[in-house]
A = this chain, B = another copy of it.
Amino acid sequence: MEKKVSASVINRLPRYYRYLTDLLSSGIERISSKELSERMHVTASQIRQDLNCFGGFGQQGYGYNVKSLQSEIAKILGLDRGYTAVLVGAGNMGRTFAINTKFESRGFRLIGIFDTDPKKIGTTLTRYTIMDYKNIKEFIDTHHPEMAILAVPKQVIHGVAEELIGYGIRAFLNFSYTELSTAEDVAVENVHLSDSLMRLSYKLLEHDQNEDKKQESEV
């Protein structure tokens, strides 16, 4: 991949990846941008713009080859690297993420879950036995995961991240309801669930304003 893909296209690629994976599992091998656009509720021209920038996939009269498009997106996102991850924190956030995320079909392997709570250590969460966080260094030394998913209280997030960077972790998915910033050579994705509530508010406001305009024009 030499070509630089824009940040907003990158942001949209996971959603394309999910849809294409679903299509494949329903046995659909090719799809037109029109059909894909109807399923995904985005315009066909947006789809062509997003997807045509990395290769001549959409052929006139043929549409997209679902499998090649999916593997190209996987390559761009690094989903073909088989990155491995540990989950730190088996509270509500950690549990919902572990239970509901299709790691394998997204190209990842979750290889261990850790917590500090004696009541949780030794119990199972999906197919994992929760391990004692104090043994995480040994685990990382042996298994070399690249990523850590942090679902720990925000008060401890920076300490935990620093410690894990020391053990060789190079990427963090941060669910701690605060922003994590680290050295430049560490990858961080901060997830702020309340941002989604504010985005919903914007959408609702737009609907309300359209409604107002309709009523004005009817008067």
Mark A residues whose CB is within 8 Å of B: 8, 10-11, 13-15, 17-18, 41, 76-79, 81, 83, 85, 91-93, 95-97, 99-103, 106-108, 146-147, 149, 170-173, 177, 181, 185-189, 191-208, 211
Contacts and interface: CB of A to CB of B under 8 A. Distances in A.
Given A41-B181, A92-B95, A189 B193 contact: no
6 contacts: A41-B181, A91-B96, A92-B99, A97-B193, A106-B198, A191-B193
A204 B76 contact: no
Contact of A77 (B96, B189, B202): B202
Contact of A203 (B149, B188, B207): B188
Contacts of A13: 198, 202
Which residue, of A95, A201, A204, has the highest number of chain B Cβ atoms within 10 A? A201
B171 A200 contact: yes
A100 B177 contact: yes
Nearest to A210: B185
A200 B173 contact: yes
Nearest to A83: B201
Contacts of A200: 147, 171-173, 187-189
Which residue, of A186, A205, A211, has the highest number of chain B Cβ atoms within 10 A? A205
A124 to B, nearest CB: 15
